Structures are given as structure tokens and as C-alpha cells.
Amino acid sequence: MNPEEFWKATTILLKNFHSLNKKIFACNFDVSFKVKTISDDLYNAFIETENFNSYVNSLNSTGVTEECLHEDAIDDCLLKASSKYDGLVFLIKLLMKNGKEPIEGIVFLDLPKKTFTCRLFTDFFFDFKISFESGNFSVEPLNVFNEKSKSFCKYVLKPKLEKWSKSEDQKHVKSLNLIDSEAYNELYSQFKLKYSSNLMEIWPECTDPLKFIYEDLAIAAYLIVLWKTTESSPEAFADLGCGNGLLVYILSEEGYKGYGFDIRKRKIWDLYPKTTILFEQTISPTNFKLPEDVDWIIGNHSDELSAWIPALAAKHSYRMKYFLLPCCAYEFSGAKFQRRSANISIYNDFLDYVEGVSNSCGFKTLIDRLKIPSTKRIGLVGIKRHFLEVEFPEKCSNIEEFIVKETKDNGVKLRDKHEAVRNCTQINKNILEDIVLKIFHKLMENGEGPWNSGRELNLGDLVKTALTKADLQAIKSECGGLKTLLKNRHEIFIISGGNVKIRKPVPKTKEEMEGKTTKKRQCFFQQHHPNKCPLTDEICTFVHC
């Protein structure tokens, strides 16, 4: 590891403190200071105080020279060679998922000595120190007599720092950096209580309700807090490629006027109230007309439309703004995205591409990392332009030229209205259950233990030994493949490195089940495992009967 990699890893840590413990929702920087010297007085003052206010007062007499915003302080960390300050002090607040009082603490960065020290006003979490010297870095607990603290530093913190130091990911964006994370956490919790149970009860789609419901509740909470934070609440919004329309429904229920457009109607549309306005309509980006009152465009996993969202917003009107959460990568033409850089993941390559589109269309592009149950969680926001409103007609011509350049070779052809669903959800349920049981029984062969967990097998071996040609044809016709089928039954199987094994049920914690609906489906293990389910009916999240 070199010094640049060390500071890179610690900077990512500052932006991703929540990754150290699943009970932490986010880390807020209440205040930070640049100091000329990180001295023992700073540490002693911390030990002798009990809260933020008393410590801030004590800092005034221990070398504090300038208060600064946390992003400036992080930049100083990265540009340490040119910094006139020897140290940075961060007063942090860890927000908890369970709604309990935040945990206050402090982080010291000693730039010349290359150390990162974290101390917290709690016994719940561990204090630690990260050091770099002669090409090596160390992670040590500050309470050397606490064995859990030692394990945390060795098996959790150090591996993450090693990974981050070597990461080529260009999108290490601090989660929720554009909004008030406390306000978001509170609103998201309210939404889960308000909407999740009822939506679970009525969900008519073949898709996983847990994923879609909680993801769209989180996105709705994010947008509302973003609109309030930036004072840019919409007169009306348009969700292009709205799919099941859930985001439109939630925002409409919260008092925001809006419209949803999608090429195909979904079953759940008929269950929404009349205030949820959804249109089954082909969206042709070259001539699509938005309602006159729309001043925000939303692209929530909008697939082929993703690259178009900034361009559509840019040329529609000067007051138009957009929010985009890209997922699947497509070119302007509707063809699969062709990589521009082999040095980063295709996802980050596509994000760079769409950000470039946004910048080319005149937006001051903002980027944020949402906290949603999805691996594709980087959002792009366009609120302000790089030019004045009087320049808008001229800039529109430039945008049209940009679009023509992007589409001149392939034209524009987005998805058809009727397309095959290819994720194994359309297989006859009896056939599907038969395939699942065949795989389950094959894994159970020669298994041992008080509760037989079976054995681990390669996917290829399962195909050869457990399934018939007819089974494989049924899976192949839906194109998701065996791997997709098994992932869809994640409560039964674990897939890792091309191998499959049986997932032994374990009790869920109160934090894991907070806001979630249980007892919706029969327990597979209670029905089919020779030893039944290892959990009692009271603690199993599935129905025993």
C-alpha cells in the first residue's frame, strides 16, 4: 500500500461508516475543524468531556484554527501534501436504523503521522486507530482488553480498508450527501409503517414485492427530502418508464401531483386510487410530449430511457429538472451500452457516460448514493444549468445537435410493447415447484448433521444429475436459466461461486424485520425437509401448518 491508497481507503471509510455495522444507517458530520497540530491535548480534552458541546468548547483552547465543511476537510485529506494544516478533526453522529438516539463521536486525522483515530461516546461500538508507516498499515483497537474489539479490527475493518485502497471504482460517493439523512431516515421509517403492509397484502404482480415496495418507498422518501432541501418541489412530476407505478402512487398520496408513463399497463394499476395518474403509452423520446405543468422528470430504473432523461429535461424547458436512477445500460439508440473504459465496471462506465450526457446538455450534474435495497443505487440530479435562461434557445439547438450525433449511426429503437418476460417467473408453477424439489432432494443426498443441511454441488453437476431435458427446456424457454430460478428462491438456496447449497433457516432480528410483513407463504422446510423447519412457528417468518 502506498500513502495515496491509505488516504483513499480512510476517505472512503468516512463516507461509508455504515458499512462497518448493519445497525448503523448513516454517518453525519456535525462539524469539522482544521488544526495546525494534532496534540495530546486534543485527545485528553475528548476523554475528559461527555458530549459534543463541551468538547467543542474545549477545542477553542487547543489549537483550533478554522471551522470547515466536511467535504472541504475530506478534500484537504486527499490534498494533504499542499495543506497548511497538520490535522483534521471531525465531530460525527452515527444514525441508527432502529430509531434510537444517534451515537456521537470524533475522528482525528493526523496528516504528517498518517493516522486515523476514531473515538465514540458509547459502549455499543469500538474505538480504533488506523496507522500507515513504511508501506504498511495497521488497525488496532484502543481498548486492547476487549476481545470483540480485536476481532472487529482484524476481521471487519482491516479487510474493508484493504479492499477500498485497491478499488478502481470511481463512484465512491457518500450516501445521501445531497439531503438531510436524519430527515430521510425518519420519513422512510414512517413510509414503511404507513404503506408496506397494505401493499404486501394486495400485491398482484409476479415480481418480488419486498424488493419493489421497500425500494420505491426509499426513493419516494429521498425525492421528497431532496425537493425540500433544494427548495425545488415540483408543480408536477412525470415518471417515465414507471413500471408498476408504485413510486407515482406514493408521491401522489403524499400530496405531490404527477403522472406515470409506461409502454405496458400492470395489474396493480387497477388497485390504485384515481389520484394516481398512469398512462399506458409508448414513449418515443424524439417526439414525446409531456403535460404542460410538469417541471420534474423522474427516471427510476428506466432502462432504455436512462440516457435520454437528461436530454429530454434539458430541451423541454429551462425550468425542467430531473432525477435519474440508472440500472440497465443502454445507448441513445436503445442498443446495449458499448463500453468506453475497460478500467472500471460497466455500471460505472455507464454512469460516467450518462453524467457526460447531462453535462453536455448544460446541467450542473449532482451525484448521490441512495440507501435502497439495490446494487444499482447511484442517482444523478439536474436542478441548475451552466447557462442563463436567455441562452436557452441557442442551447436547445446545441442539444439537438448532440442528440443527432449520438443517434446518427443506429437511429432510435426502444423496446416493443409486447416482449417476452425472461426471468423464470412465467414457468408453470407446478413445473417450477417440481424443478425446485428435484434440486432440493439432490442436495439432500448424503447430507449429515442433527438438521440435515445437505451438501454443496456445482451448478453443472445439478444440471446433469437432477434435471431432465424437459426441465432444462422449460427453464431455457424463459431464458432466466437455472441460476435465476435458484436466486428467485433465495429462502431455500444459497448460490456462491457457481455452487449451490441449502440455506438453513435462522431467526431474524427485530432490526431485520422492522417494518416487514411476515407469514405470507408456507414454510418450504416445514413441508419438505425430513427434519422439518429448525425454527418454531413463533419465530419462523413463514407459515407452519
By percentage, how much of the chain surpasses pLDDT 90? 36
Are residues 215 and 340 part of one domain? Answer: yes
Quick check: is 145 in a domain? yes
**Residue 42 pLDDT > 60, yes or no?**
yes
Are residues 266 and 155 part of one domain? Answer: no
Does residue 443 contact residue 454 with C-beta atoms inside 8 Å? yes
φ, ψ for residue 80, nearest 5 deg: -60, -30
Are residues 306 and 238 part of one domain? Answer: yes
Are residues 74 and 30 part of one domain? Answer: yes
| CA 414 to the chain's CA centroid | 26
Does residue 302 contact residue 429 with C-beta atoms inside 8 Å? no
Quick check: is 418 in a domain? no
Quick check: is 413 in a domain? no
Counts of helices then strands in the chain (DSSP H, E): 19, 17
Are residues 396 and 475 part of one domain? Answer: no
Are residues 191 and 300 part of one domain? Answer: yes
Mean pLDDT of 205-218: 87
Are residues 323 and 208 part of one domain? Answer: yes
Are residues 233 and 132 part of one domain? Answer: no
Q: Which three cell numbers stand for residue 12?
A: 472512503
Q: Measured between alpha carbons, how far is 33 from 63 in angstroms, rounded to an integer?
A: 10
Quick check: is 519 in a domain? yes
Q: What is the CATH number of the domain that holds 362?
A: 3.40.50.150
Select from 166, 192, 224 the last residue of a domain.
166
Give the residue, 102 or 510, on which the prediction is more confident. Answer: 102
Are residues 39 and 151 part of one domain? Answer: yes
Are residues 358 and 237 part of one domain? Answer: yes
Residues near 338 by beta carbon (within 8 Å), at least 6 away in sequence: 331
Quick check: is 482 in a domain? yes
Confidence of residue 414 (pLDDT cuts 50, 70, 90): low
**Residue 335 pLDDT > 60, yes or no?**
yes
**Residue 71 pLDDT > 80, yes or no?**
no
Q: Which amino acid would we find at residue 61?
A: S
Select from 132, 166, 200 the last residue of a domain.
166
Cα torsion through 282, 213, 336, 284, rounded to 10: 20
**Residue 385 pLDDT > 90, yes or no?**
yes
Quick check: is 540 in a domain? no
Q: pLDDT tens, 225-272?
A: 999 999 999 999 999 999 999 999 999 999 999 999 999 999 999 999
Are residues 521 and 453 part of one domain? Answer: yes
Quick check: is 236 in a domain? yes
- Mean pLDDT, the chain, rounded, equals 83
What's the domain count of the chain? Answer: 3
Select from 341, 374, 407 the last residue of a domain.
407
Predicted local distance difference test score (pLDDT) of residue 479: 43
State which residues form the domain around 443.
429-528
Q: pLDDT tens, 132-166?
A: 988 888 999 988 778 888 899 999 999 999 988 88
Are residues 161 and 53 part of one domain? Answer: yes
Q: pLDDT tens, 180-206?
A: 888 998 899 899 999 999 999 999 887
Quick check: is 545 in a domain? no
Confidence of residue 459 (pLDDT cuts 50, 70, 90): confident
